[in-house]
Structure 1
């Protein structure tokens, strides 16, 4: 398969020969790859030389194939390209070694250690030879948006209550994803627990 279009004007291909690829002179995609043993089985007796420093025609069971050296026509003015490197050789070599170097100590976060411990404690291999690994979920998600612990969530809740009370608004019905964030309710109040990990904000429920 040529990587450039071949000029066939100088190729005196005998008439009457059935070429396996009539468009052999055009660069295109490869249709099929043959193994060596199949290739030799396809060869037949018959060979035609087109001349000195020119391709050879070989007969096969698929038709005549052509291969060998060809002249590449040169069109256009010659082009000269000059490249000047201004980078510091010492700096370039230093960066190369930095990229190739492997750190001896790998810094792990607390979550990385938890994942590693959970993997060692839970992974196993079943009777079919497959490895079974339990999924790891975050257990310390914030109980309330803007807080990292339950205590911070309670403080944030009380701040919201105080702000609303300054506007003469009494907040007495809650929806939460954590039961400890619900204040003590009266007989006329109903609480709502939303067991959804995506719900992280204390909400309001109107009857």
Structure 2
């Protein structure tokens, strides 16, 4: 039943848009004189019925979670959608299918987009103590900080201590790696949840 209501709202929105365009096109713009003598156009006036229908559309959008569920589907089921990626193409097909289900006439156009294709990557943890590693083994490399949030400590009621011990790698790690000549660093997400997506937070960069 909800989907049928949504379809009617979408088609009504399109019809109102076309109707409003026609009304504006047929209206003869009235010209009023401004204090400096230059003409200023009078904004188009919509009928009470049109305004009432627009208000209905506004309430329907605010009361429905349809838009949220669509975004959730794109984020959780399709994933990152960089231009030129397979996920981007899949997202286009999904949106086109949803619009067709609402009765819209859809025509997809071929678009050429320069894009980057991920190749094969490899990494190896050779030593854990950054300070004990000679600079020549770090310079020009990417440093990995893979210190996890201690869930056992958190379960014992010491969540703040567990966070403090993990967050130091994010706050001070980049500067420590840079002092050893690293070109970048990769930091494990800091927090008690298991995140699939990147996690950000405060990082203190040294002045040098």
Name the TM-score, length of structure 2 as normaliser. 0.20
Bigger Rg over Cα = 1
Between Structure 1 and Structure 2, which shows a larger proportion of strand residues?
A: 1
Name the TM-score, length of structure 1 as normaliser. 0.20
